[in-house]
């Protein structure tokens, strides 16, 4: 299990099969990403995803209700493109 030194903030954990990366916004939005075990921590990637994709395509979109699951094709398209640009992505 990984956390920020001295903060107790949970960031990731490994199993023998995968690594789970976790990030939480100051407002309580939680992002989780599963990768292979050899991937470096993705805290910065999840923060970028929140600030540049989630905020722009979900929070600022009045047609996307924040109390329901995300059903936005723009969000899905941008999320897909973002993940595929990362060095850890394998098709």
The band of 91, judged by pLDDT with boundaries at 50, 70 and 90, is confident
Give the residue-averaged pLDDT of 25-39.
Answer: 93
Largest CA distance in the chain: 42
The predicted model scores a pTM of 0.82
Write the CATH number of the domain with boundaries 2-48+63-85. Answer: 3.30.450.70
Task: Quote the percentage of the chain above a pLDDT of 90.
Answer: 73
Q: Cα separations (Å) of 76 from 4, 34, 51, 57, 59?
A: 30, 17, 15, 9, 14
Q: 63 in helix, strand or coil?
A: coil
Q: What is the pLDDT of residue 66?
A: 85
């Amino acid at each position: 299990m990984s956390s920020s030194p001295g903060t107790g903030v949970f960031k990731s954990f490994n199993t023998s099969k995968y690594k789970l990366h976790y990030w939480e916004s100051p407002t309580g939005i939680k992002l989780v990403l599963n990768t292979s075990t050899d991937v470096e921590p993705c805290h910065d990637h999840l923060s970028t995803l929140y600030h540049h994709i989630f905020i722009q395509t979900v929070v600022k979109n009045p047609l996307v209700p924040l109390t329901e699951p995300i059903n936005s094709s723009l969000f899905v398209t941008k999320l897909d493109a973002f993940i595929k640009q990362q060095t850890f992505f394998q098709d």
